Structure 1
Amino acid sequence: MTSGSLLTRAIFTEGSTMRHVLVMTGTASVGLMSIFLVDLLSLIYVSRLGDPNLTAAVGYATQVLFFSVSINIGLSIAIGALVARAIGAGDWPDAQRLAASGLVHVVIVAGLVSCVALPLRREILILFGARGEALDVGATFLAITLPATIFLGLGMSLASLLRAVGDARRAMFVTLSGAIVTACLDPIFIFGFGLGVDGAAIVTLISRFVLLAVGLHGAVRKHGLVGRPYREAVIYDLPAMMTIAVPAILTNLAAPVANAYSMRIFSHFGEAVVAAFAINDRVTPFAFGVLFALSGSVGPIMAQNLGARLIRRVRQTLTNSFVFSAIYVVIVSALLREAAPIVIDIFNARGETAELVRFFCAYAGPLWLFLGGIFVANAAFNNLGFPLLSTLFNWGRATLGVIPFVTIGAARFGPEGGFIGLIAGSAMFGIGAVAAAYFVTAKLAKRPKGA
């Protein structure tokens, strides 16, 4: 493939903005939802072992892994943006150099994170509230899966490179491959080989290898997109990579920080409550995963129209995205509420765990309505030249919108109160983010042409 074969027409500046939103989101959803499906399937199989301590252990370990995954997401955003710009400029050798350097940066950063977290995994789990059997099992799970985050980071970055070159189908296959491997091997390793939670961890490791192999096949063999890395180039490209990656990483780290604090608060109520929190933490992202795809898909639509000075279409895209998000949340919330008994049965939840899962399913809608607003606003901030606002609202929600609300809610009304606190804090920052997004587009409309 050569740079001459790339499409150069700004297709998002023409036609229905709602259609662009729907098509882009639908395509991105398939690959992204497969990632959530991987986590969901693993927890379903572990929960069938019938021990809440094991379910809680996976829940604790997942919160730790969220941090490394968030860092990998930031790195993949940076490498994709740099390579896409080079391709858009028609400079294929530059794109190959940046791809090679970026992948080396991913290995170094992801490797350092794993090396730091691995020997401290028990201390980190204790900080999250883990104890007893959940602590021991969680530590073993992390010992197997933490090194695999390097392969996950490379796989995610390779998928980002495939999107940069316009190959959305192969990018989707990268993440789908991990889900397929997990779906096939999890029951074999967990039940067939009798390995339990260790089996789930081993399958996670295998799925990361497969994800990496599929990504390499597409980016290297099919497109020849990755050049040979050179030390001088790796050092030279580091500032450009980090200029994009650091703000993106900081923004993405806000969510796991909020989750970690919430998990610690809920851990005071016992392992049955933590198990319910872990189930909710897998079910709701899968149910509302389209919102994550939406936030990552509408950015190019806004950016192209901004470049063409079509601010009316930028605002129209913003409104279309908010409307789509709200309608989607309302529909899925109703379905999730009705599906609560099925969710409880699938995860073999009992007693207090089952009651809390039912409560979470019933009241997840309001939380994700406001989170959806924040996600869409983030896309606007990052693609319209106001990335600091994205970091501000995400960290604002993760701290001021979580710590006081969850702490007070849980202290006065138990786990249910803590969850309602999450909703209240998200409402405050969700409404603020939506208002700020419209303020940004209004400010852009007043700029003189060419400014």
Structure 2
Amino acid sequence: MTRPHPPTRQKACFITGSIMRHVLVMAGTGAIGLMAVFAVDMLNMVYIAHLNQAALTAAIGFAGAVIGLQIAVSIGLTIGVSAAVGREIGAGRHEEAKQIASSALLVMFGLSCVLGIGTMLVAHPLLQLFGAQGDALDHATRYLQVVSPFLPLICMGMGFSALMRVVGDAKGSMHITLLGAITAAVLDPIMIFGLHEGLTGAAISTVMSRFVVALVGLMGALRHDMVTWPTLSRVVADARHVGSVATPAILTNLATPVGGVYVTESMARFGLEAVGGQASIERTVPVLFSLVFALTGSVGPIMAQNMGAGFYPRVRETLTAALKLVMLSIGATWLILAVLQNYVVAVFNAQGDAAMLIHLFCSLTIGSYLFVGMLFVANAAFNNLGYPLYSTAFNWGRATLGTIPFVGIGQHYGPAGVQLGQAVGVVVFGTLAVFKAFQVTKNLKHPANHPPAGTIAVSDVPTTSAEAAMADLDEVTAPSTPDQTDGSTKTHV
């Protein structure tokens, strides 16, 4: 009688091979999924803008500020799960990783339910605090009342996606966001134009997309044996373990939308066109810089696994590789947008102050996102190397000292001054964060200065070009297969 094979266990796949290749593959596949999601958000803005109702366009901006706060909490929880589980995987403790992940997901579900329903109940007064009024307030309130109760779906989907990245399944993680984006892309024009539901139609398609993300994510996490029924006696202890990273990460991620709320409120003083122009830019930025945004979630598992395995020089290589990609991505995008800015204005049907803000962004303030990218990468290092309070400090520094005084001064020069003030503040904090991140990685102890047997040193890799790395995508992200002799897992890297 054939003895059944033991369950598949994921080995740490990032502690061997070229760091640059790992970063390119993880960030590249993550960027594809993120770009699809953010492109759908941008298309929502384009669709609504072509209804020629300034109140609807502004409503997206106000509602987006609130949703940004919700997603910031979800991202913080996800970072905590990724860091805690990644270290256990790096140390070869799969069962412990699975138990921690399951406990954390249970807590994530409960917290997101409270946050989502709470937002629905207080949407109207909350939006008033952000400067919304009149028709824009009414439309934004209805949008949030439809979308917010389903926050747990996207929160759980993000958690499942993070677990798949932790075990190296970059393509699987990409498919979660990609399928969600496709769902919204198909339903948006049907709901907004076909059924004439306007902004409410966009909200309904968002909810359906969240259902897809949660379902596909759960299937992927189960396929990798990364979730199980939580052990209730462990939930509190595991939640504290994850919370040691997640709590400061939540505070860190809340800083950006809180700063954004101040900017939105400042723009609201100059009318609906200014708010609409700012909202158009905020929907465009994630699409343009999907690679930069993806780096935050992609380099974390690489750092965490190498941290858990004790290969600290590879942690520093990961930080350097990520920063190189940030500079390349921002520089190329700035050049393209400077040339095509008239087309961007036309796509958003922007007029007056809205058009002026888009031109200013494409010509000048887009350059500030180089420092935003630096801050993101530094935060990923802090969160995964045991210094989450550093990322909290730098993000809140940017959202307060790097935003309020500069935007406050800029208000005296109109909406353009608000945008310029927001751009100037991030330069200081992005630069300081990167210097601190390098200092942290330099001070790591060195119990294992050399990669394990079979590891390819970066200097020995024939090529580190993007083309070569992406050509190896299928090999790097291929599912692990059980060794027929001892039941262990061989990861194809």
Which TM-score applies when normalising by structure 2?
A: 0.84
- Aligned pair partner of 1:140 in 133, 139, 142: 142
Partner of 1:226: 227
Q: Answer 1 or 2: which has greater helix percent.
A: 1
SS of residue matched to 1:385: coil
Conserved? CA contact 1:287–1:332, under 8 Å: yes
In structure 1, give the amino acid aligned to 2:266.
Answer: I
Q: 1:217 Cα shift? A: 2.1
Partner of 1:257: 258
Partner of 1:414: 414
Q: Distance in 2 between matches of 1:296 and 1:158?
A: 13
Distance 1:278 1:270, change over 3 A: same
Q: Distance in 1 between matches of 2:6 and 2:57?
A: 49
Q: 1:4 Cα shift? A: 4.8
Q: 1:212 Cα shift? A: 1.1
Q: Distance in 1 between matches of 2:396 and 2:165?
A: 28
Q: Provide the alpha-carbon RMSD of the alignment.
A: 2.3
Q: 1:230 Cα shift? A: 4.7
In structure 1, give the amino acid aligned to 2:437.
Answer: A
Q: 1:235 Cα shift? A: 3.5
Partner of 1:156: 158
> Could you give the per-residue CA deviations for residues 276-318 of structure 1, whole angstroms, max 9, x where no partner exists?
0000000012101211112322234444555666555544443
Partner of 1:105: 107
Q: Distance in 1 between matches of 2:364 and 2:337?
A: 9
Q: 1:345 Cα shift? A: 1.8
SS of residue matched to 1:118: helix
Conserved? CA contact 1:3–1:92, under 8 Å: no
Q: Does 1:7 align with 2:11?
A: yes
Conserved? CA contact 1:333–1:364, under 8 Å: no
Q: 1:234 Cα shift? A: 2.9
> Could you give the per-residue CA deviations for residues 407-428 of structure 1, whole angstroms, max 9, x where no partner exists?
11122x1111111111211111
Partner of 1:351: 352
Q: Does 1:125 align with 2:127?
A: yes
Q: 1:440 Cα shift? A: 2.3
The aligned runs of 1:377-388 (5 Å cut-off) are 377-388=378-389
Q: Distance in 1 between matches of 2:421 and 2:65?
A: 20
- Aligned pair partner of 2:42 in 16, 40, 44: 40
> Could you give the per-residue CA deviations for residues 320-340 of structure 1, whole angstroms, max 9, x where no partner exists?
332321122111011112222
What fraction of aligned residue pairs are identical, expressed as a percent? Answer: 43
Conserved? CA contact 1:56–1:134, under 8 Å: yes
Partner of 1:173: 175
- Aligned pair partner of 2:219 in 217, 222, 244: 217
Partner of 2:455: none
> Could you give the per-residue CA deviations for residues 360-414 of structure 1, whole angstroms, max 9, x where no partner exists?
2222332101111111221222233322211111110010000000111122x11
Distance 1:410 1:2, change over 3 A: farther
Distance 1:235 1:319, change over 3 A: closer
- Aligned pair partner of 1:54 in 53, 56, 78: 56
Moved more, 184-193 or 353-362: 353-362
Moved more, 59-68 or 38-47: 38-47
Partner of 2:429: 429
Conserved? CA contact 1:60–1:130, under 8 Å: yes
Tell me how many residue pairs correspond in the alignment: 445
SS of residue matched to 1:339: helix
Q: Distance in 1 between matches of 2:443 and 2:26?
A: 26
Q: Distance in 1 between matches of 2:339 and 2:89?
A: 47
Q: Does 1:331 align with 2:332?
A: yes
In structure 2, give the amino acid aligned to 1:257.
Answer: V
Partner of 1:403: 404
Q: Distance in 1 between matches of 2:168 and 2:190?
A: 37
Q: Distance in 2 between matches of 1:198 and 1:10?
A: 43
SS of residue matched to 2:52: coil
Q: Distance in 2 between matches of 1:119 and 1:305?
A: 44
Distance 1:109 1:308, change over 3 A: closer
Which TM-score applies when normalising by structure 1?
A: 0.92
Distance 1:437 1:8, change over 3 A: closer
Q: 1:9 Cα shift? A: 5.8
Conserved? CA contact 1:4–1:90, under 8 Å: no
Moved more, 324-333 or 254-263: 324-333
Distance 1:92 1:317, change over 3 A: closer
Q: Distance in 2 between matches of 1:223 and 1:320?
A: 28
SS of residue matched to 1:7: coil
Q: Does 1:244 align with 2:245?
A: yes
Q: Distance in 2 between matches of 1:448 and 1:359?
A: 47
Conserved? CA contact 2:88–2:308, under 8 Å: no
Q: Does 1:192 align with 2:189?
A: no
The aligned runs of 1:23-38 (5 Å cut-off) are 23-38=25-40
SS of residue matched to 2:51: coil
SS of residue matched to 2:202: helix
